[in-house]
Amino acid sequence: MNAAKRREIFERLRADNPNPRTELNYTSPFELLVAVVLSAQATDKSVNKATAELFPIANTPRAMLDLGEAGLKRYIRTIGLFNSKAANIIKSCSALLTQHDGEVPQQREALEALPGVGRKTANVILNTAFGQPTMAVDTHI
């Protein structure tokens, strides 16, 4: 496929859906990061249900660390792979505080260095939270 064909495809997609939006509920780049990490092997509906209770309690890296891994697990136990996701989220919160002043980085490499964050998650964050021209592709497509 050449560049002109790719451009045409993107133009058609933009015309059909000029303001694409995720179905995950979030109010900040950090909340989106947590929600996307939780969404792996889970439905957006189940993630939204868990984060509706979690985010009023812990919606920053510091608050999430204060909640701790065991505390986080209580909120996300209905989501598949919750043990490893909780561990990764807590480790990511620590990294965000020590390496990024508590902010979600806007660079792919920095995002992918966070535990539990791969290329797809990084692309979702970069595009949805920061408006960067990226596309998240699921391996099942």
Q: Is residue 60 part of a domain?
A: yes
109 vs 141, more confident: 109
Q: Which of 5, 16, 101, 138 is catalytic?
A: 138
- For range 49-63, the mean pLDDT: 98
Cβ pair 50, 75 in contact under 8 A: yes
Longest dimension (CA), the chain: 51
Rounded Cα distance between 55 and 119, Å, is: 24
Residue 49's domain comprises: 27-129
**How many structural domains does the chain have?**
1
Residue 133 banded pLDDT, cuts 50, 70, 90: confident
Which runs of consecutive H residues, i.e. helices, occur in 20-131? 29-39, 44-54, 61-76, 82-99, 108-112, 119-124
pTM over 0.85: yes
Q: Is 120 a catalytic residue?
A: yes
Write the pLDDT tens digit of every residue in 10-38: 788 878 877 767 889 999 999 999 999 99
The reply to whether 113 falls in a domain is yes
Check whether 50 has a pLDDT greater than 90.
yes
CA nearest neighbour of 108 among 123, 94, 96:
123
Q: Is residue 37 part of a domain?
A: yes
61: domain CATH number is 1.10.340.30
Residue 19 falls inside a structural domain: no
Confidence of residue 141 (pLDDT cuts 50, 70, 90): very low
Residue 34 belongs to a domain: yes
Residue 138: active-site member: yes
Q: Is residue 85 part of a domain?
A: yes
Query: Is 73 part of any domain?
Result: yes
pLDDT of residue 140: 45
Residue 118 token pair: 């791969």
Q: Is the pLDDT of residue 139 over 70?
A: no
Selected residue with higher pLDDT from 5 and 69: 69
